[in-house]
Amino acid sequence: MKDPAQLWLPVLLYLLFILAFVAGILLLAHWLAPPRHRPVKDMPYESGMDPLGTARLRFNIRYYLVAVLFLLFDVELLFLYPWAVATHGSGGMPAVLRDTAFATVLVFLGLLVVGYLYEWAKGGFRWR
């Protein structure tokens, strides 16, 4: 049997070649490209009109709360999808493992429902 280092050597060489190639292309593009910094190009785009103020605006904190809630419930689906796919064709899985997996998902969903109810009670879904 070959040494593990010999087995991974082609993969390592391939990765090094790809990194060198990408770095070379990026450097070549940087050196050959004409400079394009002009005041008009550095201005924020506003439908072809002159800007009417600064482009740096403060967002209301509610937008961040909505984004965090979206991520929370989106990550829930990331965990549920593999479970559903794995247990869909579980004909060869013992009944004990199926029941354990189902109980685990019920606990997971229960925790998410508790979090949802807490957020609802705190008014996280009300736009004030």
For residues 69 and 120, give the distance between their C-alpha atoms in angstroms, rounded to a whole number.
Answer: 11
For residues 19 and 13, give the distance between their C-alpha atoms in angstroms, rounded to a whole number.
Answer: 10
Domain ranges of the chain: 61-121
Provide the pLDDT for residue 1.
Answer: 63
Would the pLDDT of 126 be above 70?
yes
- Range 81-100 burial, b when 16+ CB lie within 10 A, else e: eeeeeeeeeeeeeeeeeeee
Provide the pLDDT for residue 15.
Answer: 97
pLDDT tens string 58-94: 878 778 888 888 888 888 888 888 877 777 766 667 7
Overall fold of domain 61-121: Methane Monooxygenase Hydroxylase; Chain G, domain 1 (1.20.58)
